[in-house]
Amino acid sequence: MLKGLLSVFTRSNCPLCHRAAARCLCGDCLRQLQSSQLKNCSEFWRGDLPLFAWGIYGGQLKRSLAVLKYENCPQLGELMGCWLGKAWLNSPIYAKTKKVTVVPIPLHPKKLKQRGYNQAELIARSFCRLTGYSLQPQGLERVRETKALYGLSVEQRKDNLKSAFVVGKDFQRTKPRAPILLIDDIYTTGTTVTEASKKLISLGIQVLGVAALSKTVTIADNKNSRKNQPKKKLKNIK
Ligand SMILES: [Zn+2]
């Protein structure tokens, strides 16, 4: 009886569709969101700054990331961070990289105060819980407020992010022994993570790559192949 009453009070609404949900998301939204996962998250793991991406930015994943950032829904970051961690553990990269220090892309303190949390840090915390990697949330600091990057050209993005980051005090005192894996919610052109990694590299810190929940699709990706389609099509979901 008491348990039943308690469950009425603790039950909340799904942050994506606002229907009643016993857990963080309702079953339908959970399935839709999970179907955004790429078949091969290591597809972009190549080049100077390799990328591990959980899904392609769009549809339910895009909406979830917006709700996470702008609708005070930190539990979504924790949930999706778990998924990113699971995908990493199942990837061939994990077998080769047992020691990693995870650094989330920081927010400017002013934005952090407004939002109440850094979504990249929430994702990174869950990711580290799953993988057992060490987390250094203050590995980088954002010292310059930057404009929203949406709609800016690559050159404008670079200008906007110049001197936006500094290496955190702990790393300045003692360099991490393990290579750094940067974590962010959305990877667009890679300008943000490239700027961040440059700062670490300039201090002699090794950067392994980037893990992001989502990657926006570029013209080059479209030309590339159809290998990166999500696992299931949404129409298959009841
Ligand atoms: Zn829902």
**Predicted local confidence at residue 219, as pLDDT:** 64
Contacts made by residues 62-66, CB under 8 angstroms, sequence distance 24+: 62/214, 63/16, 64/16, 64/33, 65/119, 65/185, 65/186, 65/213, 65/214
Question: What ranges do the domains of the chain cover?
Answer: 40-224
- Distance from the alpha carbon of residue 73 to the mean position of ligand 1, in angstroms: 13
- Distance from the alpha carbon of residue 27 to the mean position of ligand 1, in angstroms: 7
Q: Is the pLDDT of residue 3 over 50?
A: no
Distance CA 44, CA 80 (A): 19
Short-list 236, 144, 148, CA closest to 199 = 144
- Distance from the alpha carbon of residue 25 to the mean position of ligand 1, in angstroms: 6
Q: Which two tokens stand for residue 34?
A: 């999970």
- Distance from the alpha carbon of residue 6 to the mean position of ligand 1, in angstroms: 21
What torsion do the CA atoms of 176, 179, 182, 187 make, to the nearest 10 degrees? Answer: 160
- Distance from the alpha carbon of residue 127 to the mean position of ligand 1, in angstroms: 23
For ligand 1, an ion, list residues with CB under 5 A.
14, 16-17, 26, 29
- Distance from the alpha carbon of residue 18 to the mean position of ligand 1, in angstroms: 6
pLDDT band at 155 (very low <50, low <70, confident <90, very high): confident
13-35 confidence digits (pLDDT tens): 999 999 988 888 999 999 999 99
Question: Distance of CA 233 to CAs 14, 36, 154, Å?
Answer: 22, 9, 32
Residue 193: how many other CB atoms lie within 10 Å: 23
**Predicted local confidence at residue 90, as pLDDT:** 96
100-112 confidence digits (pLDDT tens): 999 999 999 999 9
Q: Supply the DSSP symbol for 186.
A: E
77: left (phi over 0), alpha (psi -120 to 50) or beta: alpha
The helix or strand, by DSSP H or E, that contains position 197, with its residue range, turns out to be helix 191-202
- 């869950």: which residue's tokens? 126
- Distance from the alpha carbon of residue 30 to the mean position of ligand 1, in angstroms: 7
Phi, psi of 110 (to 5 degrees): -65, -45
- Distance from the alpha carbon of residue 181 to the mean position of ligand 1, in angstroms: 32
What global pTM score does this model have? Answer: 0.86
Short-list 62, 70, 13, CA closest to 36 = 62
> What fold, for 40-224?
Rossmann fold (3.40.50)
